[in-house]
Structure 1
């Protein structure tokens, strides 16, 4: 998925208070501080109160003294900065939705609110549990619905605007095939096992026994000097051929093997490896096509999104005042 910055919600009912929607759902700070302007996006503003709506539920996990604890200063600043940046992006989406004629209709917003509330009731266990949850955060259904209206408007506007900026993205079959050919190792995998022995002469002896038909897993359990795989018969599990988990000599060693083959001794900084490959599989281009398409399109989306956001900041003359955080 596109890497639009998000903060993970905690608590289903309060999700929109935590997910950067700018709702006034929790009053935690004096009014004067809440109204402090932390950013300007055209004629829209981001206030300290909006930032706190997002950041405070996370910051409270650090304890009641997080504001005055010098050891937490960096974490507090980072969380508030993330919330500020997220809100700036949301304000830009609202402005662009207006400019591009993509603002959601009230009917769309109402449908989104209804869908969300019904899903929330199901998640919480029914109407009674939902009502109790509202009471716990001291909101009436009308007040909560009003907050959700703003949240849904932001979400729908963001979806419509991002769809617009991504509308021309298209990958051809030639591009997909080129990617497949250039990244073939990522579509190849096998169950890789090895026996590690530091002494070369002993390693040669054990390899000969394996090649002559002795059970590879039994030999690994008895002789391997790799404590991480010894008891598992030397198995490293299913391994893709583009792995970077192992030393180069080892990876190159198993990539040369065919199904069921046992390698010559492969020397690395760890000693001598005797490697066996089983259950080799290779996904065809047709099997991989959709995955490749998604990968390439998401890469392009991320690039377009980042470039577009930076340009919009200039167009809308965005100003942020992080020192006020």
Structure 2
């Protein structure tokens, strides 16, 4: 009997030890998960913990905009996955750019970095209405002050790299003149606009048939309802509403022909990527073009900003093309 009790006690002890070991294993596993790589960039590991910090902040931001259940809705699943992919891509970019800044020796010294971080924090407090509001915002976005300082630090370093890469970018007078001539409708006293109707059909033969009926006296609105393949305008007699001359959302050939057409006139068939259009201009409002000298500084700034951004993107692309990058998508 005593032997049986002893065996039982040993068994209970073993069970307890296994139970404790199991708890320890669970704890280590959870901690270990946070240290797992979600991506590796030239030997640098981005951990799951680092990724989740950023993701939780983005999640909080989106939930503030679209509601607490945004991430749980099935219809948002693809969008949530896109958020995750964009987030890890941004983190990879950050690693590459900070490393490049170190290689080019454009990282400020520690005192300068701290001064700039503190300055940005003070600016943040001021813009949000004080320290309490600032801290509340960090809390709502699930960011610790230390993490926020880390994000600012990377941002400042990347800004210095941007300035270094873009320092030699220039815009010539020829660049400015070319842009002005190609975008004349961006530089008028008031925005030029026209009220446009159209009938869209699939073939040139159909378009010629519609035009013949119009020439014979048929009403444009009636033919649009009868023939047009554009579901957004056919029930409105083909009316597209007011279109600004510099609207880039419309087909270029469509816009060129519409702008050239006088008010009240109907076009011959116009071919675009969507088919053949018969265009009618119901009304136009046109204004005088501003002289180049008046808008030169504005155009120069735009072109300079665009060229700087392109130079930076080109540098980033080169870095990514050369880098060894591995993403563990199943861990995101």
> What residue is the counterpart of 1:192 in the other structure?
194
SS of the residue corresponding to residue 280 of structure 1 reads: coil
Deviation for aligned residue 1:158: 0.2
Deviation for aligned residue 1:308: 1.9
| Structure 2, gaps ≥5 residues long | 1-28, 200-212, 221-235, 270-275
> What residue is the counterpart of 1:307 in the other structure?
314
Deviation for aligned residue 1:118: 2.5
> What residue is the counterpart of 2:107 in the other structure?
103
Deviation for aligned residue 1:167: 1.7
Pair 1:245–1:123, CA change in 2 (3 A): same
> What residue is the counterpart of 1:255 in the other structure?
260
Pair 1:124–1:164, CA change in 2 (3 A): closer
- The 5 Å alignment of 1:107-126 reads 107-126=111-130
Deviation for aligned residue 1:90: 0.8
Q: Which has the larger radius of gyration?
A: 2
- Post-superposition CA distance 1:82-134 (Å, at most 9, x none): 11111111111221221111112233333333333323333443344445566
Query: Could you tell me whether the CA contact under 8 Å between 2:185 and 2:245 is conserved in 1?
Result: yes
- 2-structure distance, mates of 1:81, 1:156: 24
Query: Could you tell me whether the CA contact under 8 Å between 2:97 and 2:161 is conserved in 1?
Result: yes
- The 5 Å alignment of 1:89-100 reads 89-100=93-104
- Post-superposition CA distance 1:182-241 (Å, at most 9, x none): 44355454242468899653779xxxxxxxxxxxxxxxxxxx956665xxxxxx26x225
Q: TM-score with structure 2 length normalisation?
A: 0.61
* Corresponding position: 1:277 with 2:277: no
Pair 1:298–1:132, CA change in 2 (3 A): closer
- 1-structure distance, mates of 2:255, 2:170: 39
- The 5 Å alignment of 1:1-325 reads 30-59=30-59, 61=63, 74-130=78-134, 144=145, 146-187=146-187, 189-193=191-195, 201=217, 225=237, 229=241, 236=242, 239-240=244-245, 245=250, 252-255=257-260, 257=262, 262-266=263-267, 273-313=280-320, 315-325=322-332
SS of the residue corresponding to residue 45 of structure 2 reads: strand
- 1-structure distance, mates of 2:197, 2:80: 49
- 1-structure distance, mates of 2:59, 2:285: 50
Pair 1:116–1:247, CA change in 2 (3 A): closer
- 2-structure distance, mates of 1:59, 1:137: 8
SS of the residue corresponding to residue 252 of structure 1 reads: helix
Pair 1:148–1:270, CA change in 2 (3 A): closer
| Structure 1, gaps ≥5 residues long | 1-28, 205-223, 230-235
Query: Could you tell me whether the CA contact under 8 Å between 1:186 and 1:242 is conserved in 2?
Result: no
Query: Could you tell me whether the CA contact under 8 Å between 2:117 and 2:149 is conserved in 1?
Result: yes
Which deviates further from its counterpart, 163-172 or 309-318? Answer: 309-318
